[in-house]
Structure 1
Amino acid sequence: MVNIDTFKQLALSFPGVEAQPHFEKTSYRVKKKIFATHAPDSHIVCVKLSEIDQSVFCAFDKTIIYPVDNKWGKQGWTLVDLKKIRKEMLKDLLATAYNCVGSKK
């Protein structure tokens, strides 16, 4: 289990990341592009992955990591249950999301 403060600390640990409001959520951005979001008082966070990375992470356990259930999910947006994920897996997931968004031109 990972608490929201740990999630925030991990998301902000990458170079150039800023936390900014995004509707009712907090977004974590690199180069003005969102790679993760979370809503207040929720244990579910959302990260942006490539389709391939999404399928790899979701294959681990679909009760922990799973695509958003709409067109956003088909674009790589993926939900993560902080109550079930291990910290090391979350670190890998956030690094992958950061690199996916941060490496785009």
Structure 2
Amino acid sequence: MADGADLRRMALALPGTTEAPHFDRAAFKADRIFVTLDSSERTANFKFTPDEQEFKCQLAPEVFKPIDNGWGRQGWTTAMLAEATPDDLQAALEMAHAHAVGKPKRKRSDGLVSGSSSGAESRW
């Protein structure tokens, strides 16, 4: 079985990945956040496409479950780390990471940039 230390090690090994605080979680991002780890290091939330989410949840329902809110409909999926194998984590991390790389920040109609990792928005 896997744990938070496994997820952290594997995530940070992916190209361009950094770790930063994100509310009560640790966020791992390349150009965008692709996975977060809860403070107890028991669960992680992955950003999949809705189709990938459905696939992962059918493949390993004891590991992956859609988040039960609006974020879940966008593909955010909770993984129970104690139920996951290292191979489950590696495959999920690679899948989520692929969508986070090369995503440019979006300019809003008011000229501000959205997608800032710090939560601050800038015109620059």
Q: Fold match, TM over 0.5?
A: yes
Quick one: distance in 1 between partners of 2:60 and 2:87?
Answer: 15
Partner residue, 1:27: 27
Partner residue, 1:77: 76
Unaligned runs of 5+ in 2: 105-124
Quick one: distance in 2 between partners of 1:73 and 1:18?
Answer: 24
Select the structure of larger CA radius of gyration.
2
Unaligned runs of 5+ in 1: none
Normalised TM-score (structure 1): 0.93
Q: Give the 3-state SS of the residue equivalent to 1:99 in structure 2.
A: helix
The structure whose RCO (Cα within 8 Å, separation 6+) is larger is: 1
Bigger mean CA offset, 89-98 vs 54-63: 54-63
Partner residue, 1:64: 63
Instruction: Please tell me the residue identity of whatever aligns with 2:29.
Output: R
Note the alpha carbon deviations across 1:5-28, whole angstroms, 9 max, x for none: 111000111111010011111100
What is the RMSD of the two structures over their aligned residues, measured on CA atoms?
A: 1.1
Note the alpha carbon deviations across 1:15-57, whole angstroms, 9 max, x for none: 11010011111100111x1000011114111010011111111
Normalised TM-score (structure 2): 0.79
Which runs of structure 2 are paired with 1:89-104 in the superposition (5 Å)? Answer: 89-104=88-103
Q: CA deviation at 1:64?
A: 1.2
Q: Moved runs in structure 1, 4+ residues, more than 3 A?
A: none
Q: How many residues matched?
A: 104
Quick one: distance in 2 between partners of 1:99 and 1:37?
Answer: 15
Q: Give the 3-state SS of the residue equivalent to 1:47 in structure 2.
A: strand
Quick one: distance in 1 between partners of 2:103 and 2:66?
Answer: 21
Quick one: distance in 1 between partners of 2:2 and 2:25?
Answer: 18
Instruction: Please tell me the residue identity of whatever aligns with 2:22.
Output: H
Instruction: Please tell me the residue identity of whatever aligns with 2:50.
Output: E
Question: Do the aligned partners of 2:19 and 2:28 also contact (CA within 8 Å) in 1?
Answer: yes
Quick one: distance in 2 between partners of 1:100 and 1:57?
Answer: 16
